[in-house]
Amino acid sequence: MVISLSVLDLSLASILVLILAGISWRMHFGIEKRLLIASLRTVIQLTLIGLVLKILFDNATLLWITLMATFMLLLAGREVMARQELRFAGWWGFGVGTLSMFLSSFVVTLLALVILIQPEPWFLPQYAIPLLGMVLGNTMSGIALGLDRLTTSARQQRQIIEARLMLGLPAAKAIEPIVQDSIRVGLVPIINAMAAAGVITLPGMMTGQILAGIPPMEAVKYQILIMFLIASGTGFGTLLAVWLGSRRLFDERERLRLDRLHGLSPHP
């Protein structure tokens, strides 16, 4: 049995955020405006998605599920681009992250639905949308971190990379240490989350299922599945995005082309 929350309950909880904003204003932290805007966005966005999901659950067709999934993917691609200090110019800035998430998150989610969970039908929105959302959200963060480290490190180590190229190393070898470091950075959050799960934190899906009355061990099994899906989606997505990004940093003559990054002056 689920205990319903009233508007009054949520209003009382919001007082804590208002108190925090007041402390920030009083002590000149400078985050009160962003905190209040983020809180307002949380309420509006979650309310809207709740209404959308209600309609989606009542009209569970493959077309509507596909449209919803595509919308989520496009927003995630934009978010990946926005989180980078330096991003690739043109459609590459949006395309690298979006393509990587599509080939990793969608494949992993499809595998889970068709082979592992096997709801009937396989695109049942109660399973498809939450699974895709969790995998896509974490993959988005990993790809954004990996690409940001790749581009910023390439700029900072420009002379080192060019010195390796002058010594005769191919482009892939010249940038290999940066690629390896970028992939590690992208995977750190999910590795830390997996290491802390069940010991320091109770993951969100498991907590929600327990609150909804699901037996704890069943909730644990679902959470283990989700963690593995997120780890694989994040890993494959970050690998692909960083690899594509590293290729884009060089031209067909294997010259480093930092002018392909948004906001940098052309290569001399």
Nearest to 130 by CA among 205, 46, 20, 47: 205
Averaged pLDDT, 2-21: 88
Residues 6 or more apart from 157 whose CB is under 8 A from it?
A: 178
Q: Which of 87, 78, 84 lies closest to 263, judged by CA?
A: 87
pLDDT at 27 over 60: yes
pLDDT at 267: 40
- Measured CA to CA, the distance from residue 223 to residue 156 in angstroms comes to 40
pLDDT at 268 over 80: no
pLDDT in tens, 61-100: 889 899 989 999 999 999 898 888 888 888 888 999 999 9
Please state, in angstroms and rounded to a whole number, the distance separating the CA atoms of residues 181 and 178: 5
CA distance 131 to 191: 19
> At residue 58, does pLDDT exceed 90?
no
Q: Which residue is it, tokens 């997505």?
A: 237
Residue 148 has pLDDT above 50, yes or no: yes
Question: What per-residue confidence (pLDDT) applies to 33?
Answer: 93
As a whole number of angstroms, the distance between CA 188 and CA 259 comes to: 29
Q: In sequence order, which ranges of the chain are alpha helices (DSSP H)?
A: 7-26, 32-58, 62-82, 92-101, 107-111, 125-156, 158-166, 171-174, 176-196, 204-211, 216-248
pLDDT the model gives residue 21: 92
Q: Is 28 left (phi over 0), alpha (psi -120 to 50) or beta?
A: left
pLDDT the model gives residue 180:
95
92-143: per-residue pLDDT in tens? 889 999 999 999 999 999 999 999 999 888 999 888 998 999 999 999 999 9
pLDDT at 2: 67
Q: How far from 219 is each of 91, 115, 201, 210, 235, CA to CA, in Å?
A: 41, 19, 14, 7, 24
Render pLDDT for 195-234 as a digit per residue (tens, 0 to 9): 888 877 777 778 787 877 788 888 889 889 999 999 999 9
pLDDT classification of 265: cutoffs 50, 70, 90: very low
* Percentage with pLDDT > 90 across the chain: 53
pLDDT given for residue 1 in this prediction: 62
